[in-house]
Amino acid sequence: MAEAVLALEGLHKRFGALTATDDVSLTLRPGEIHALIGPNGAGKSTLIAQIAGSLRPDAGRILLGGEEITGLSVAARARRGLGRSFQVSSLAEPLPAIRNVMIGVQAQAGHSFRFWKPAERDPRLIEPALAALARMGLAHRAWTPVAELSHGERRALEVACALAMKPRALLLDEPMAGLGPEGSARLTELLESLRLEVPILLIEHDMQAVFRLAERISVLVAGRVIAHGDGDTIRRDPQVRDAYLGE
Amino acid sequence: MTDQTPSGTLPGDLPARPPRRLGRRGTVQLVMLALLLVLPVAADLLGHPYYVTLASRLTLIAMAAVGLNLALGYGGMVSFGHAAYFGLGGYVAGIGAYHAFDATAFMGMFPGSDNLLVLWPIAMLACGLLALLIGAVSLRTSGVYFIMITLAFAQMVYYFANSWPTYGGQDGLPIYIRNQLPGLDTQDPLTFFLICFAGLVLAMALTSRLMGSRFGAALTMARLNDTRLATAGITPYPVRLVSFVISAMITGLAGALYADLNGFVSPSMLSWHMSGELMVIVILGGVGRLYGPLAGAVLYISMETLLGGLTEYWQLFLGLTLLGVVLFARHGVMGWLAGREPHG
């Protein structure tokens, strides 16, 4: 088994009497898409916040490429190669799509305290940004303000922003949220093509997409991973059926 | 690599950045600068030094607002305490001149100087350090708390100056002879105006260059969406802090010149009225627009001069204008004159 790119080891998080994350351990291996599913209120968002760095776990460790990142800030994790997308798009609306992507290229190059040279036409920023946009089928929308993009285009742009950072692991928080069947199918196809480039931890409600994309699926219920395995194992698991049907 | 472009876009079709043209915006801006330069020169030739001095005042208020605009407009940091830097710059000029005149030393250690080439860097350095201190604390907060904490710091500086009798306390400090620039006669109104004009143009050029750089891209993103900035891998706090410091240094240099223009510096330069005035000018002119502070200063000084001659209640009309701009012209005078900014 190849070494995990991203590993969670025994994460715990409590809010008062509520245990939001209860001894969660999982790994993301090179070349795989690992899906995390669970009913509403299972603690998915809390878990993502801990992985991305906006929330500190009470106990446990998070490792990226074998290095511990548990105590690092959001930005420091991003610089180490953790790319993410948000459940609700988080983009700079008035700016052209490409400027949202270029900031990731710039951060990765580590040159944000350069005060003099023009950046907007710098090919070292523009070319990688355009490549990331093209990867998500958005090259023709590069100079369109985000505010004028369709919902589906924004979802794809979020992923392009993360790709531009040349991440070692991608954390995608419900990338299909709000997409129709057609948009969802298209995004599924694009994510499929990314698999070998960067491993993805996919949090998703769209079961069709999950079963098509993910090699491994973990099911989170009430803060615990109650089942883990490939698509068929999960589909047949009685506990998973209970959790979903019992709602 | 054939299945990644379902939209039908081939890499060969990648669109280039649309070209930039001078257009209406460029024309309006060029005309504004040209008028600001030509009118005082004409006034001087026609023998009206009063108007030259008025233009110098306008130019310096605009320059102070250019500084504030970097923090407030481009960085989204609503500082209600920029008078602290404006006044501190003024006091550096005043204190330097005071000790040079008396042949004494500041705090018994540093001799005075009336050389602007010495005073300007000291003013900027002092303002930069003060802003580093204030910004490091204030930028831990945001929104209304940031407004209040910057105001609180500025008020501390204000009361400090008020209660320091060595430098005039609440009576202020006169500058008997305008500070000197080698090779130039700073007493000449037109020469001094040209120095101020150069200062304004430099401050605007610096802002433009800064905002076009990688640092500017990061600052813009910090204003529009700091979650996106952090997620991309850039910590917003130091980006904000650095721009806050640069902003204060520009405003401080304008303050140093302003004290020399008036031959006087007093705590009123540090008061919250001054901070408010600078904010009003930035908002009137157009928040986060390069020429906004200049347009705002023109409007402000015009109303003060024209309406102020008719009624002492001229600020009522200023208030109504501000109300109109905020309600109906969100992009300020520049938005109305020159159209919307291409983006941001």
For residues B19-40, give the mean pLDDT: 86
Mutation to test the A interface, candidates B4, B20, B227, B231, most A Cβ within 10 Å: B231
Whether A140 and B239 lie within 8 Å, measured CB to CB: no
For residues B95-119, give the mean pLDDT: 88
- Please report the pLDDT score of residue A246 as a whole number: 53
B336 φ/ψ sector (left φ>0, alpha ψ -120 to 50, else beta): alpha
Mutation to test the B interface, candidates A101, A112, A150, A165, most B Cβ within 10 Å: A112
CATH 3.40.50.300 positions along chain A are 1-81+168-247
- Please report the pLDDT score of residue B335 as a whole number: 85
- Please report the pLDDT score of residue A199 as a whole number: 95
pLDDT band per the 50, 70, 90 thresholds, residue A2: low
Chain B positions contacting chain A at CB under 8 Å are 3-7, 9, 11, 13-15, 17-18, 209-210, 212-218, 220-221, 224-225, 227-236, 238-239, 242, 343-344
- Please report the pLDDT score of residue A238 as a whole number: 86
Which residues are bridge partners to A19 per DSSP?
A: A14
- CB < 8 Å from B in window 21-60 of A: 52
Q: What percent of chain B has pLDDT over 90?
A: 75
Contacts of B295 (CB under 8 A, 6+ apart): B32, B284, B285, B286, B332, B333, B334, B337
Q: How far is A202 from chain B (nearest CA, A)?
A: 17
d(C-alpha A162, C-alpha A165), whole Å: 6
- CB < 8 Å from B in window 76-105 of A: 76, 78-79, 84, 86, 90-96, 99-100, 102-104
- Going by their DSSP bridges, the two strands A216-221 and A33-37 should be labelled as parallel
Q: How far is A121 from chain B (nearest CA, A)?
A: 8
Average pLDDT taken over every residue of chain B: 90
pLDDT band per the 50, 70, 90 thresholds, residue B333: confident
For residues B110-121, give the mean pLDDT: 91
Q: How far is A137 from chain B (nearest CA, A)?
A: 5
- Please report the pLDDT score of residue B14 as a whole number: 47
d(C-alpha B8, C-alpha B14), whole Å: 11
Helix ranges (H only) for A151-204 are: 151-164, 181-194
B271 pLDDT exceeds 50? yes
- Please report the pLDDT score of residue B7 as a whole number: 40
For residues B174-200, give the mean pLDDT: 94
ipTM: 0.91
pLDDT band per the 50, 70, 90 thresholds, residue B21: low
pLDDT band per the 50, 70, 90 thresholds, residue B259: very high
Measured between CB atoms, which of B210, B232, B343 is closest to A103? Answer: B232
CA atoms within 13 A on the CB side of B341: 19
- Please report the pLDDT score of residue B4 as a whole number: 40
A228 pLDDT exceeds 50? yes
In chain A, which residue's Cα lies nearest the Cα of B17?
Answer: A143
The residue with tokens 């948009």 is: A183
What is the CATH architecture assignment of A1-81+168-247?
3-Layer(aba) Sandwich (3.40)
Contacts of A104 in chain B (CB under 8 A): 232-233
